Structure 1
Amino acid sequence: MLEEENRRARMRSVGNVRFIGELYKLKMLTSKIMVYCMNHLIEDVLEEENLECLCILLTTIREQVESEAKTQLDSVLEKMQNIIYDRKSNKISSRVRFMIQDVIELRERRWVVKSNLSTVKLAPPAWSPAFSTKTAAQISSNSMVGLTNNKYSVLEMQPNDSSPIKGPVTAAVPQDPLPENKKKSVHAMINLALLNPVDDELIHEIQRFDTRNHAAVVTEILNMALEKSQKEINTIAKLLLHLVSTNTILPVHFELGITETLEFAPDLYIDIPMLYEYLGVIIAPHIEKRHITLLQVFRLSENIKSAKQGHLLLKAIIRELRDSMGPTFAKSKWLESIFSLINGCMMTSCKSGHSAITESGFKGRGDLKRL
């Protein structure tokens, strides 16, 4: 069991580092940040996890960091060379030594991969960021920012996000499905609220539901909202925001409640072309109020990323944040999610970082400016 957890931690770490490298290649992170990451991974107490992540990072950023931070890169590679030769003072396995040697040789070839290799082999498949417990066929059918796929879900890899949340912190209650008669009650409640949107009355109605059903109530409200007009969706979004802001529904239950909608979003998008715009209207205010983070939303977007629709959701959310709070705030939330990822990977020696968002198709700062 412990071995499996360690394997998953390594898998997530590799995905995080590759994600950071891809963000740098898209000019969304600076060379100074890359230098910090490289030095952090090699200057601390030598650990195989850190060295493996360093190899992944260098293989990802290659000639770009060579042109922007050559002096610092020379220093890092010199230390890597010393690790290979100094077998007595450190207990690095042969596997990691070979990984380091591969990177050094790749640099000597001016970052050109050998013609008979599609990529530098850095680690066994079980530690690849594309690895999951699903079958190889499932993996091959699944595809933020043009990276390899990482597997995660809100249930299997619950984020240890430390972002502050408004209101008193209350423990989450295990959730149950919503009985059919209760679903009808939700529909009646929302229809009434659309006719007479009085926040206090809605709070009173929600309090009649068992707390164990709150996530399912959110899911049902979302399902209902997606069938409504744009004006009604705006009203429902405000009602949901008030419920979470007052802790009538806990933020963690809101997060669980949107999981099912995000899971089936690619299928819903076929019939609802404005789906991601609607989700942006609903989700963005909760990011603004810190009920949920942008990074948490992306961690729930497994199927959206696999369908290469992640950029649609990302643009919709950032557009809403920009329209509500201005471009500076929207950019700060985007950067906050990036640095949460970096901190999760770097500050814990890459042992407990969560899987990065991949395949969203977001093109970087250029797209952010055009939103």
Structure 2
Amino acid sequence: MTEILPQPSLMFSLGAFILMIAVLVVVHEGGHFLAGRFFNTKIDAFAFGFGRELLGHTDRRGVRWRLNLLPLGGYVKFTGDLNEASQVDPSLLKLPHAERDKLFAFKPLWQRAIIVAAGPAINFAFAILILAGFYVTLGHPTTPPVVSAVMPESAAASAGLQAGDRILSIDGESVSRFEDVINIVMSGTGKPLQLVVSRDAGSERNLVIQPQMVETTDRFGNVIKHPRLGIARGQQIVEQVGPITALGHGVVDTGNIIVTIGRTLRQVVMGERNLDDLGGPIRSGQVTGQQAAMGVTSFIAFMAFFSVNLGFINLLPIPTLDGGHLLLYAVEAVRRRPLGERFQQWAFMSGFAAIMTLMVVLTWNDLSSVGVFKQLSGVLG
């Protein structure tokens, strides 16, 4: 039986979450900053956090480095930006051509797109480097996608899956490792799965398996409901790899995380998965504290996963996010001129309202999941 570990304290989880956010914000905004510098774009400020400035320093290039009051986010402010839409101050139109060329709003469209995309891109690169570092140091773990045992009366047994079967694909998605099988099944919603397996010297069989929905308890006592086939994996192999191979594995694994996030988001949008399954800031902080309590390695690995999440979310085509900027740039490229100022302001205000609404819903779900409402009902009752 797995030993149940005590939940980390609130202060420990909060500290771990702020540390992780601090690192990832610097990484993400650093992507925008470095890309802006590469294209000789003038920058006013690089800030960690929002609200009132607590500490600050202005470097020789005129960039104000700020540590602000609320340590949940950050931003790079390019010179001349009036708002999050990067609309230019009309008074700057009177500047000499040489000075205007250094302002973000006057940069060629393709340069603005690269500067905006650099934030999410560096989040993905950061995750790849972390994973590659693990693989070079600890080796790359992999398990052949071969069924070593089938649990009696399980979903796999009912479907006719046998020990020794090699799983080739699930729902048309090719499988090269048993870890891929776990990822696809665990991120599913319990719907029937189409499996192609190799049996008896290479003969292929098509099987339909209806996963069983089960509840398991993790090391911290959290109850998790998920699909299960009822099969066991074989012996895991840890392969020692060099830096180039490790980077390749990092790219593949980061790509798999992106696919899983996209699959989960699609399931929510299509109504196949409950919105309650998505975590907000409170649940994210709780999980961060749990991973940190398990050790530095677990914490850094979770940071890599969260970095991919941050990059993916920022690429969603929602105004105020990087993906929203890129969407407007795509429209600008087609129209050969930017959208009107009023439309852009409306779009960004709508995007901000949508994000805030989602955050309220997710925070409400978080409060419910950690038992706050149950405790309040007990006190008030």
TM-score, normalization: structure 2?
0.29
Answer 1 or 2: higher relative contact order, Cα 8 Å, separation at least 6: 1
Structure with the bigger percentage of helix: 1
